[in-house]
Chain A
Amino acid sequence: MEITRKNFLKLGMFSGFGFALPDWAAKWALKPREDLPPPDWEETVSHTVCGLCPSGCGMRVRKVDGRAVGVAGIAEHPVNRGSLCSKGAAALQELYHPDRVKGPLLRDGARGSGKWKKIAWPEALALLSKKLGRAAPGGGRMPFAALTSARAWDIQGETLRGLAGSLGKDNLFALGFPLSEPPADAYEEMHGLRRLGLDLTRAKLVVSFGFDWLQSAGAPVGAQRTFARLRSAPGRERARLIQVEPRLSATAGKADQWLRVRPGTEGLLALALAGRLIAGGTYDKAFVNSRCRGFEEFKKGLERYSPEEVAEATGAPAKEILKLADLLAAGRPAAAITNRGPLLTQLAVHALNALLGGLSEGGAFSAIADQDGFWAGPSAAAALAARPPGALLVDRVNPLFLSPLEWKGILERTPFIATVSPFLTETAEFSDLVLPCHTPLERGHCSIHVSPDGSAVLNAAVKAVEPFYDTRDPAEIFLLAAGASGRTSVPADLDSFFTGHIARLQAEKLLEEGGKGKSWREINGPAAAGPRFASGSGKFEFQALTALLVRRDAAKRPENGEFPLYVHFYSPLAFSFGEGAHLPYLQSVAGPGMQDAWETWAELHPETAGARGIADGDAVWIASQRGKIKARARLSASAMPAVVSLPVGLGHTAYGRWAARAGSNPLELGSGESRVKIWKS
């Protein structure tokens, strides 16, 4: 032992007490403690499914004496081939998070006041069943609504669907994350389907409109793997990547060409490109002539979108637009991608795919095997705002964070809200009843995962570790609630439901072999090229887009004196789906160029900042018509002048110690807002 002041005093004290103690006390104090037996160091491995996003990566959990001490990808698993994304690699931080909800909580004070009463499970479940069962129709209300996340064909999702089905019809809503979703609204208008398979690796040229797909894609591991294959898979030509985006994102930085446009004008650029392709006759004529409807009208509608006018609106030089059109014409098969942004952008970008051969044989798009439900609906918020539910059950989504402006009102008008979550999210904090569930490592899995390319995998696994706290499997909560309603034939206990589900999917063997052999089965590979058309005409419809072009002069730039700047929201991989800020390690990869985040950065061009007296690192206020937030200015020479770029994911007011009070939530500006002003705080 070192001789320091501290130790010196400590030892002096010890010896002093030692001498001063009476006999009985000395005996008590000096009795060796009954220690627990030394650890066994029994090392085991479990196979499970990564639960941090719906991609379904196979995960190996390394355990010592039953305690999870490491995670890695399963080398042979078709979804991730031994890899994980940054979120998956942080999985243990979620399991061991100190701020997990440790037992059911009942609101004990005003909503959102943070005052809770701890209650026991029987009481909590009885209350839930009572509230759900009593919810009666009438008064313009939906008696009951359940809210869950998109793309979730797992036990949790199936049982919730069962519960919702036992309580009524059309009451299950899947909430998406538009920054990460495919342009489903365009698919619906043009194909009559909300989903298409997209296998980017079939394209020789990928042009992305405002979609930072390397960081924001719904399947992060899939996106990185796709990129690697596009760039350097043996025996294939290196694909070209073009990024049309306001900001030098990770994808823009990796692309062969980055075209800087104003936020929200990506669609206009797509229209200019379409016009150019049509004028030059360098489009997929065979497809357009045989499989499209309304092409002539569309062609006519495009007249207003000349490269010069679009250059004016987007801020991209006309010369660059022409160059890009030539590249597209030469680089077939090409794929034009975007996320679920403004409808015009979605439609215009997908129209490009029709022109570029992406929808023909050999193209990147395909029909996808149909799965019921759980795709993000057009708008859960709109449906529930029109008919607020009498009772709302929230499962694994956090609407109050994802679109606070829309959901605040809906939740306020909902008399009873129950949230199932391992953490006190913003929505949970605003609930009446919080039902803490196991984290994914603590529960059994049997789930189908559909990749963007249409391939589907069945994963099955028993729980990797014993639950830490007094939590329940979410499926068990839903089964018990459904059982209490008395209107279901599904067994109310989880074990028999799980066994039945496994048997239905013929996954018994996967469970047996889990940890040693395969815990998954490929249901089908990537879908073959050539999508279906379920539209009335059985053809690709240009009509919706043409209508938008004709109805208003979309190319015109609305001037707004009060809010002179454009705002661009992006989603770093670490916080995709608005989740992840609760895991401290993820702050270190909050986005390339961000380094350790812990606060929200507003990326600005030095000129834009300079004109407002803002220097790098200054605290600034950013306001839109609907809200305002605080951020830290970060000047970047590559930023577009008059644009403010904001990362989504930070700015929680709840969600555990690391997320709460770190940064601010740009979605409070309103996710549809495009204009802001900024000033130094």
Chain B
Amino acid sequence: MTPPADYHKNDGQRGQKSAYGPPNGQWAGGGGKRFYGPVLVLYGAAIIVLLLGAAFYAYSRLAPAGSQPIAYNHKKHLALGLECSSCHLGIADGRAHARLPSVEVCAACHSSEDENPRTKVIRDYVSGNKPIPWKKIYGVPDHVYFSHRRHAGLGKLDCALCHGDMSKAEAPVTKQAEKITMARCIDCHHKLKVTTDCIACHR
């Protein structure tokens, strides 16, 4: 199975330039050519440089700890009796995409009469009617179709299944509590005996 000669040229750019979002292991295609013998020193150096580079890349791309604009405390809010869908609109009203709370959502409770110094940050957003630059922590690549409506709305799945138990979380979310991977999706789909048709999720 020798791939055509010009095939390799395409490989390098695929994960990078495509509109498919973050590079992903599944994209690693490619073909083999003859093995010419090891050049160990260079290879080793290459790997070290590469690892450092990758670390930097990951650091610059992903949101580092504490980078959410507001030190939001899920535990406190949920303890007040709020539901996930009270702030994350889109789950309840039947949309494919759930949303991070807009400033209007916060404004419903955090009015200007509130004097608490710890909530000044949010009041500033509210009074300035500035959009809150939330960092999106959860997401799927562009080539995956995921519908909250289908899972949380119609399927009545517990949010914690993918997002962890937020009723104990006091710090703002800066990393995925449960890593969203295809293996995880498939695993759950098997358990719940729902479709594992590729194009049900891949588009």
Contact = CB atoms under 8 A, between A and B. Distances in A.
Whether chain A touches chain B in the assembled complex (some CB pair under 8 Å) = yes
Interface of A: 1-8, 10-15, 18, 30, 32, 34-41, 43
B67 A11 contact: no
Interface residues of B, number: 36
Contacts of A37: 100, 102, 131-134
Contact of A36 (B16, B23, B60, B131): B131
Given A35-B135, A37-B134, A41-B90, A3 B50 contact: yes
B11 A2 contact: yes
A11 B56 CA distance: 8
B56 A1 contact: no
Interface string B18-33: 0000010001100000
Interface stretch (B91-99, B114-122, B163-171, B176-184): B91-99
A1 B57 contact: yes
Given A1-B23, A2-B23, A36-B131, A10 B53 contact: yes
A381 to B, nearest CB: 48
Contacts of A35: 133, 135
8 contacts: A2-B15, A4-B12, A7-B12, A11-B54, A11-B57, A15-B56, A18-B52, A32-B67
Contacts of B141: none
Interface in B1-57: 11-16, 23, 27-28, 46, 49-50, 52-57
Contacts of B12: 2, 4-7
Nearest to A5: B12
Question: Which of B12, B46, B53, B55 has the most CB atoms of chain A within a 10 A radius of its CB?
Answer: B53
B76 interface: no
Interface string B71-106: 000000000000000000010000111011010000
B28 A11 contact: no
Contacts of A8: 46, 49-50
Contacts of B15: 1-2
B85 to A, nearest CB: 15
B56 A14 contact: yes
A602 to B, nearest CB: 36
A44 to B, nearest CB: 12
B49 A11 contact: yes
Contacts of A5: 12
Question: Which of A1, A11, A35, A39 has the most CB atoms of chain B within a 10 A radius of its CB?
Answer: A1
B161 interface: no
B27 A15 contact: no
Given A2-B28, A32-B63, A37-B134, A15 B100 contact: no
A38 B98 CA distance: 11
Nearest to B61: A32
Nearest to A29: B60
B50 A12 contact: yes
B143 interface: no
Contacts of B151: none
